[in-house]
Amino acid sequence: MSSGPTSDRPSALETLRSAARAPAEYARSWKQRTGRPVLGTFCSYVPEEAVIAAGALPFRILDVPGEFGAADPRLQAYACCLARGALALGSSGGLAFLDGVIFSNTCDTMQCLSDIWSANVCGGSPGDVETFMMPIHVGHAAARDYLLAEIERLVASLGARVGTSVEPAALGRAVADCRTARVALARLLEVQQGPSPVLTPPQYYDTTMARCVLPPDEYTSSTTVVLDDPQPLDRVGPRIVIAGGPMYAPVLPDLLAELGACWVADDLCTGHRAAAPGPAPGDDPVAAIADGLLSRPQCPAKHRTGHDPGRAVVERARQAAADGVILYRLKFCDPHAFDYPRIKEALDAAGLPSLLIEVETPAGSVGQLRTRLQAFLEMLADAGVSEVCT
């Protein structure tokens, strides 16, 4: 399924941008065009291949409002804005175009949200909500067998939901297409973190977020156009890595652009972590999906013995020759908040300046965000000066 021609760089970037900035519109129009279902997800670990093979469009629910009134009767205020915003949107009918939602056990909040969603958004029937229980213990040998069974269960369940049975061939094609899309993104991110970045911060945002919206083949064709016509940026200001997540508003990248910085790399589930292509698939598509999920760069909500979140971020920053690292998290996000002290310690030890940005909603408090970013970038600029002029 492909849309109009994206044969030149500006239109390719525009395709990516409009998908990233108005994902619901894209999904609605896709649904109208194709007559096929759209299934919502919250977590990048939910196998998009399974959804695609069932003939549906996976829709990562990230474009949620910053006003939670409709969620308050159902969910307390100490939940993150993504959960509250999504619940508010769902409760007020804003996600009525979805034909179902797949919840994963990303964290305590998401786990509880699935039951609340069943009761309040889908009219009280637990069957309206799909679940996908990703193993947390990704480093454990038994996780793979469990995951294979869980993926098969999901595939069967999705098939029943859309009224067809999902053939292995369809799953195999979905696996191949998604992998191609990931490879395209990975290659672009590789260029971006090198000596000649090609994307402005807002373009970086658009390119990574569009991966959560566009069907894989459309995504691949747009990204390939950009890859084939690199156009390095004229001025590259301070090189910034953004780690944490999820970041679902372009406020921060827009400010980085305004303040003259360059976003060169990320460690986000909306970017680099979900772009890992995984091992080359063999004959078994379910195994390919499982191995892809288990081999990803570590997400804070998963556990692997001996993993050091600090070292991971430092390596990312070094690979990208970063001048500074922005540690981004949503308020009330436990997994990221627990990792923060270790990450900060490692960055300090490595001499890499960092800035913690914790947001109550991604699009809120722009003035305060701007002040912090500006102060941070001024700090980085001064780092080259040994004596402050007085």
Partner 1 sequence: MTTGERSDTERKRRSPRFVRLECTARLHKLMTRYYAYARYMPRLGKKIAWITSGGPVEPLYAAGIIPVYPENHGAMCGASRMGPKLGEQAEALGYSRDLCSYARCDIACAVHGGGPIGGLPRPDLLVCCNNICGTVTKWYEVLARHFNVPMVLIDTPYLHDGQLPDHTSRYVRAQFDDLIEAIENVTRRRFSERRLQRAMGLSLECVQAWQRVLGYCEHRPAPITCFDAFAHMAPIVTLRGTRWAVRYYRHLEAEIAQRVERGFGAVPEERHRLLWDNIPIWYDIRNLFKHLAARSACLVADTYTNAWVMDRFDQRRSLDSLAEAYASIYLNIGTPQRFRQVAELARRFSVDGVVMHSNRSCKPYSFGQLDIQRMIRDELGLPCLMIEADMTDSRSYSREQVRARLDAFLETLEAAA
Partner 2 sequence: MNRSDATLTLGVDLGSTAIKAVLLADGMTVKACRVALTGHNARQSAEQLVAALLDEAGVTPDQVARTVATGYGRLYYDPADREVSEITCHARGTRLVMPQARTIVDIGGQDSKVISLADTGRVLDFAMNDKCAAGTGRFLEVMSRALDVPIEQFGRLAEASTKDVAISTTCTVFAESEVVGLVARGEALPDIVAAIHRSIAARIAALVRRVGPAAPVVSTGGVAQNPAAIAALATELDQPVEVAPDPQFTGAIGAALVAAADHAEPRP
- Is 150 a binder of partner 1 (CB under 8 A)? yes
| Residue 370 Cβ vs partner 2, minimum distance, rounded to whole Å | 8
If the CB atoms of residues 126 and 260 are measured against partner 1, the closer one turns out to be 126
- Is 119 a binder of partner 1 (CB under 8 A)? yes
| Per-residue contact flags (x/-) with partner 1 for residues 326 to 355, judged by CB under 8 A | -----xx-xx-xxxxxx-x-----------
Total residues found in the chain within this entry: 390
HSE-up of residue 35 (Cα within 13 Å, Cβ side): 0
Cα torsion for 307, 135, 76, 127, to the nearest 10°? 160
If the CB atoms of residues 32 and 386 are measured against partner 2, the closer one turns out to be 386
| Sign, Cα dihedral of 98, 102, 107, 109 | positive
| Per-residue contact flags (x/-) with partner 1 for residues 15 to 54, judged by CB under 8 A | ----------------------------------------
Q: Which stretch binds partner 1 (CB under 8 A): 2-10, 92-100, 136-144, 262-270?
A: 136-144
Q: Which stretch binds partner 1 (CB under 8 A): 91-99, 119-127, 227-235, 287-295?
A: 119-127
- Is 116 a binder of partner 1 (CB under 8 A)? yes
Provide DSSP, 177-228: HHHHHHHHHHHHHHHHTSSS----HHHHHHHHHHTTTS-HHHHHHHHHHHHH
If the CB atoms of residues 228 and 387 are measured against partner 2, the closer one turns out to be 387
Extract the tokens encoding 121.
């958004």
Contacts to partner 2 from residues 64-93, by CB under 8 A: none
Rama region for 66: left / alpha / beta (φ>0; ψ in -120 to 50; rest): alpha
Provide DSSP, 216-267: HHHHHHHHHHHHHS----S---SEEEEEEE---STHHHHHHHHTT-EEEEEE
| Sign, Cα dihedral of 375, 379, 382, 387 | positive
HSE-up of residue 262 (Cα within 13 Å, Cβ side): 21
If the CB atoms of residues 25 and 145 are measured against partner 1, the closer one turns out to be 145
| Residue 363 Cβ vs partner 2, minimum distance, rounded to whole Å | 15
The answer to whether 120 and 74 are in contact (CB under 8 A) is yes
- Is 372 a binder of partner 2 (CB under 8 A)? yes
If the CB atoms of residues 105 and 365 are measured against partner 2, the closer one turns out to be 365
The partner residues of 104 in beta bridges, in order of sequence, read 132
| Residue tagged 């395209």 (tokens) | 184
Q: Which stretch binds partner 1 (CB under 8 A): 172-180, 240-248, 279-287, 301-309?
A: 301-309
- The count of other CB atoms within 10 Å of the CB of residue 164 is 13
Report the distance separating Cα 179 and Cα 292, nearest Å: 9
Size of the site for partner 2 (CB under 8 A): 19
Start-to-end CA span in the chain (Å): 63
186 binds, among partner 1, partner 2, none (CB under 5 to 8 A by kind): none
- Is 289 a binder of partner 1 (CB under 8 A)? no
Three-state DSSP state, 58: strand
| Per-residue contact flags (x/-) with partner 1 for residues 51 to 70, judged by CB under 8 A | --------------------
| Per-residue contact flags (x/-) with partner 2 for residues 340 to 369, judged by CB under 8 A | -------------x------x----x-xx-
| Residue 72 Cβ vs partner 1, minimum distance, rounded to whole Å | 9
Extract the tokens encoding 113.
């949200």
| Residue 261 Cβ vs partner 2, minimum distance, rounded to whole Å | 14
Beta-carbon contacts of residue 348 (< 8 Å; ≥ 6 apart): 354
If the CB atoms of residues 169 and 375 are measured against partner 2, the closer one turns out to be 375
The answer to whether 45 and 299 are in contact (CB under 8 A) is yes
| Residue 386 Cβ vs partner 2, minimum distance, rounded to whole Å | 6
Binding site for partner 1 (CB under 8 A): 73-76, 78-79, 105, 107-109, 111-116, 119-120, 126, 131, 133, 135-137, 140-143, 145-146, 149-150, 153, 300-301, 303, 305, 308, 331-332, 334-335, 337-342, 344, 358
The residue ranges that bind partner 2 (CB under 8 A) are 353, 360, 365, 367-368, 371-372, 374-375, 378-379, 382-383, 385-390
